Amino acid sequence: MPEYKAPLRDIQFVLNDLLNSEQHYAGLEGCEQVSPDVLNAIVEEGARFAENTLHPLQKVGDEEGCQFEDGQVTTPTGFKEAFKLWGEGGWQALGVPEKDGGQGLPNSVGACISELAGSANWAFNMYTGLALAPVTCLLNGGTEEQKQRYLPKILTGESAGAMCLTEAHCGSDVGLLRTKAKPNGDGTYTLSGTKIFISGGEQDLTDNIVHAILARVEGAPEGTKGVSLFIAPKYWIEEDGSKGDFNHITCGSIEKKMGLKGSATCVMNYDGARAVLLGEEGRGLDIMFKLMNSARLGTALQGLSMSEASLQGSITYARERLQMRSLTGPKNPDGAADPIIVHPDVRRMLMTQKAFTEGSRAFVYWLAQLVDHENYGNEEQKKEAEDLLGMLTPIAKAFCTEVSQEVTNLGMQVLGGHGYISEHGMEQIVRDGRISTIYEGTTGIQALDLLGRKVMGSQGALLASVTKRIHKYCKANSDNESLQAFIEPMQALNKEWGEITMHVGEKTMSNPDELGAASVDYLMYSGYVILGYLWMQMANVAQREIAEGSTDPLYKSKVATAQFYFDRLLPRAQAHKAAIMAGAESTMSLTEEEFVFV
The answer to whether the CB of 375 falls within 8 A of the CB of 389 is no
Residue 561 exposed, middle or buried by CB count within 10 Å (0-12, 13-18, 19+) = buried
CB of residue 492 to a copy of itself, shortest distance in Å: 14
- Rounded to the nearest 10 degrees, how much is the dihedral formed by the CA atoms of 342, 343, 344, 348? -90
The residues with which 277 forms a beta bridge, in sequence order, are 230
Q: How far is the CB of 323 from a copy of itself (least distance, A)?
A: 4
- For the CA atoms of 322, 325, 326, 332, the dihedral, rounded to the nearest 10 degrees, stands at 60
Q: Which of residues 390-419 bind a copy of itself (CB under 8 A)?
A: 405, 409, 412-413, 416-419
Half-sphere exposure (Cβ direction) of 189: Cα atoms closer than 13 Å = 25
Q: Which of 70, 327, 333, 479 is in the footprint of a copy of itself by CB under 8 A?
A: 327
Q: What is the DSSP string of 357-418?
A: HHHHHHHHHHHHHHHHHHHHS-HHHHHHHHHHHHHHHHHHHHHHHHHHHHHHHHHHHHTTHH
| CA distances in angstroms from 271 to 6, 71, 213, listed in the order given | 44, 14, 13
- Rounded to a whole number of angstroms, the distance between the first and last alpha carbons of the chain is 43
Q: Which part of the chain contacts a copy of itself (CB under 8 A), choosing from 6-14, 73-81, 110-118, 123-131?
A: 6-14
Task: Please give the size of the binding site for a copy of itself, defined by CB under 8 A.
Answer: 113
Overall size of the chain counted in residues? 598
Burial of 106 (0-12, 13-18, 19+ CB in 10 A): buried
Catalytic residue among 202, 402, 427, 440: 440
Residues 350-389 that bind a copy of itself (CB under 8 A): 350-351, 354
**Alpha-carbon span 422 to 418, nearest angstrom:** 8
Largest CA distance in the chain: 83
Q: Please, which residue, 107 or 203, has the CB nearer to a copy of itself?
A: 203
Nearer to a copy of itself, 256 or 475 (CB): 256
Among 8, 60, 85, 292, binds a copy of itself (CB under 8 A): 8
Q: Does 510 bind a copy of itself (CB under 8 A)?
A: no
Residues 567-596 that bind a copy of itself (CB under 8 A): 567-569, 571-572, 574-575, 578-579, 582-596
The 157-196 contact track toward a copy of itself, x by CB under 8 A, reads ---------x--xxxxx--x--------------------
Q: How far is the CB of 308 from a copy of itself (least distance, A)?
A: 10
Q: How far is the CB of 472 from a copy of itself (least distance, A)?
A: 27
Q: What are residue 188's phi and psi, to 5 degrees?
A: -100, 170
26 binds a copy of itself (CB under 8 A): no
Is residue 148 part of the contact set for a copy of itself (CB under 8 A)? no
One residue of 420, 460, 477, 482 binding a copy of itself per CB under 8 A: 420
Binding mask 279-318 for a copy of itself (x = CB under 8 A): ---------------------------------x--x---
CA-to-CA distance for 462 and 63, rounded, in angstroms?
A: 45
Q: Can residue 435 be called a binding residue for a copy of itself (CB under 8 A)?
A: yes
Among 2, 7, 157, 200, binds a copy of itself (CB under 8 A): 7
* DSSP symbols for 75-144: PPTTHHHHHHHHHHTT-TTTTS-GGGTS----HHHHHHHHHHHHHH-HHHHHHHHHHHHHHHHHHHH--H
Does residue 593 carry a catalytic annotation?
no
Site for a copy of itself in 515-544 (CB under 8 A): 515-517, 519-521
Report in angstroms how near the CB of residue 581 gets to a copy of itself at its nearest.
9
Site map 335..354 versus a copy of itself, x via CB under 8 A: -xx-x-xxxxxxxxxxx--x
Catalytic residue numbers read 440
